[in-house]
Each structure stands twice: as structure tokens, then as C-alpha cells.
């Protein structure tokens, strides 16, 4: 899919004076680059981070008003505490934080770490904050979703051998399915809130530099773009007049580098029945239901 709706520089953002944007995982990488661009556009930026000292250091590099709040998406009690303590409207929630682990690990609640952090945490956070959200929800996904498959019969990987790339791809598919069903529910509820997803491309970040095999590391070292470039699809999804349920990504190199535009997505990620099934399972696992 191609589109004339593009963003080639963060300097092209609209004036966001008076807007409040929450960015999870804003202490480094794409999250920090996103927060810096939003701050430069005069938004009030809330950095939702696991390490508040690191978050405070990051906030010092952001123009304008910033707030640092603790949030660990691998701990549902932390997610609930963040939401319980929130007051006031949220113009945009950017679900940026994510992990990729070379070994099988678990969240504090016992979920497989990648599925728990990349999907269940943001699922719970979004729904708990939804009564405050006035503009849109943006979740980071990846073109890795094209190879993702969700094993509903073994989400905790009790029987399935662990492979980092396969589990990561499944979590990124879950991100798109979440946006699909969230948008359907928002529309059905008559809400003006828009849900969108963004694929940042191949980006050199602390996460990508420490994950994957030798081939992945070679690609990151020699082909990856900067976090500032990777943030462009996120910024497009967060601020532009994109359609409901939009998926944004880089313009060039098979959507791995360059400025941002609307891009296509897999058939699986657009499957409404699969999206509803994942939503139901996510509600059961987190104890959090649709926020409106």
C-alpha cells in the first residue's frame, strides 16, 4: 500500500500545545526519540518508564513540560497503580515499550515475558486509561507480525520449544490484532478515539542490539536506521489524519528505512475473529475489560 500521507522529518509535526501524550518506555531508543519530537512540538510529555532515574535523565533532553512516572508492563500491579493514580485527559497514549528475550523468561504474573510485556501489559494499560483518552492510541508493532502465529493452546510456552524470533513475531501480531479489535469496539461505542499501529523499521536500539542471532546483529550494525528515523512512523500515527486502524511504517527498503507512510499488513492481523479471540483471552488473563 502506498499513500500521499507521509512524514519525512519530525520538524513536520503540527503544533501540539496543550496536548498531553504518554509514551511508555521513553527512557531510550524509539520511545525517547518519540518523546523528544513531541516535546519539540510543544506537547506535555509523560515518560512512563521502569527506571525513573533513567527517565529523569531522558526528560532533561526533552523540550517543554515533562512528567516521569514509574511503569513496569511486566507487572500488572504496576500497570494498575499507574492507571489508578492518573488524573486528567490524555490526548495520545503511545504503547512503545517492548522487549525481546533470547531465553524463556516470565513476567511477575507468570506470563511468558515477550507476550506479557509486549501485549498483555499494554492491553491492560490502554483499557484502564481509556476513560481518560480523548484522541488516540498508538501501539508499536513490526512487520515481523507477518510470520507471527498465536498458539492459544500454549500461550505460556509450557510445551512449545522457545525461539526468540518466533515468540517476538507472535507478540507483534498480537499488537496489530489488539488495535484491530480496539478500533472495532471504539467505533461500536461511538467513541471518537482512534486506534493505530506503527512499524518503526529496522532500528538500532538497546533492544535490537542485544537480541537475535548473528545475521540479525549484522543487519543491525550495517543496515539499521537511527531511533529518530524509527520514530517517524510512530509520530505519523500519533499526529496525522490517518484512518481508523491505520498501520504506518518506513517508506523505503521494503518498509525498513526512511520516512513514514501508511503500509499494508498481513491477512492474519486483519482477521476479526482472531482479534476477538485474542481480546477475550487477554481479558481473562489480565482481569481487565474494555474501558468504555
Mean pLDDT of all residues in 219-230 = 75
**Contact criterion met (CB below 8 Å) for 74 and 55:** no
Catalytic residues: 168
d(CA 199, CA 171): 13
213 versus 230: which is more confidently predicted?
230
d(CA 239, CA 12): 10
C-alpha pair distances (Å), 65 with each of 16, 27, 136:
12, 16, 20
C-alpha pair distances (Å), 44 with each of 16, 59, 62, 150:
8, 11, 10, 36
**pLDDT band at residue 2 under the 50/70/90 scheme:** very low
**Contact criterion met (CB below 8 Å) for 46 and 67:** yes
pLDDT of residue 3: 44
- Cβ-in-10-Å burial (0-12, 13-18, 19+) of 271 comes to middle
Question: In whole angstroms, what separates CA 13 from the centre of its chain?
Answer: 19
pLDDT of residue 203: 77
User: How is the chain split into domains, by residue range?
Assistant: 6-286
Mean pLDDT of all residues in 251-262 = 73
C-alpha torsion 25→28→30→36, nearest 10? 100
C-alpha pair distances (Å), 123 with each of 32, 80, 195, 221, 276:
21, 12, 12, 32, 13
Candidates 134, 249, 142, 247; CA nearest to 194 is 134
Mean pLDDT of all residues in 55-77 = 97
Looking at the chain, the whole-number percentage of residues with pLDDT higher than 90 is 80
Looking at the chain, the whole-number percentage of residues with pLDDT higher than 70 is 90
204 versus 3: which is more confidently predicted?
204
**pLDDT band at residue 253 under the 50/70/90 scheme:** low
In CATH terms, the fold of domain 6-286 is Rossmann fold (3.40.50)
The count of C-alpha atoms lying within 13 angstroms of the C-alpha of 257, restricted to the half-sphere facing its C-beta, is 9
pTM above 0.85, yes or no: yes
H/E stretch holding 252:
strand 247-252
Amino acid at each position: 500500500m502506498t499513500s500521499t500521507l507521509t512524514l519525512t522529518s519530525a520538524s513536520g509535526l503540527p503544533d501540539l500545545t496543550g496536548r498531553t501524550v504518554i509514551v511508555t518506555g521513553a527512557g531510550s531508543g524509539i520511545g525517547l526519540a518519540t518523546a523528544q519530537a513531541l516535546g519539540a512540538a510543544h506537547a506535555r510529555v509523560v515518560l512512563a518508564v521502569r527506571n525513573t532515574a533513567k527517565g529523569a535523565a531522558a526528560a532533561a533532553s526533552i523540550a517543554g513540560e515533562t512528567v516521569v512516572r514509574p511503569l513496569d508492563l511486566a507487572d500488572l500491579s504496576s500497570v494498575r497503580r499507574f492507571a489508578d493514580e492518573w488524573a486528567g485527559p490524555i490526548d495520545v497514549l503511545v504503547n512503545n515499550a517492548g522487549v525481546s528475550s533470547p531465553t524463556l523468561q516470565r513476567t511477575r504474573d507468570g506470563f511468558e515475558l515477550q507476550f506479557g510485556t509486549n501485549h498483555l501489559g499494554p492491553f491492560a494499560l490502554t483499557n484502564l486509561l481509556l476513560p481518560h483518552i480523548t484522541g488516540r492510541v498508538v501501539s508499536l508493532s513490526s512487520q515481523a507480525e507477518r510470520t507471527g502465529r498465536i498458539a492459544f493452546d500454549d500461550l505460556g510456552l509450557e510445551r512449545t520449544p522457545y525461539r526468540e524470533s518466533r515468540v517476538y513475531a507472535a507478540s507483534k501480531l498480537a499488537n496489530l490484532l489488539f488495535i484491530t479489535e480496539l478500533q472495532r469496539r471504539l467505533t461500536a461505542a461511538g467513541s471518537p478515539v482512534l486506534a493505530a499501529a506503527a512499524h518503526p523499521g529496522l532500528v538500532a536500539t538497546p533492544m535490537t542490539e542485544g537480541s537475535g542471532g548473528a545475521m540479525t546483529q549484522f543487519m543491525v550494525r550495517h543496515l539499521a536506521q537511527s531511533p529518530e528515523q524509527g520514530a517517524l512512523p510512530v509520530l505519523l500515527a500519533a499526529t496525522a489524519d490517518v484512518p481508523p486502524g491505520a498501520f504506518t511504517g518506513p517508506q523505503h527498503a521494503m518498509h525498513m528505512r526512511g520516512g513514514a507512510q501508511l503500509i499494508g499488513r498481513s491477512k492474519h492481523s486483519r482477521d476479526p475473529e482472531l482479534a476477538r479471540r485474542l481480546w477475550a483471552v487477554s481479558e481473562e488473563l489480565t482481569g481487565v475489560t474494555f474501558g468504555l
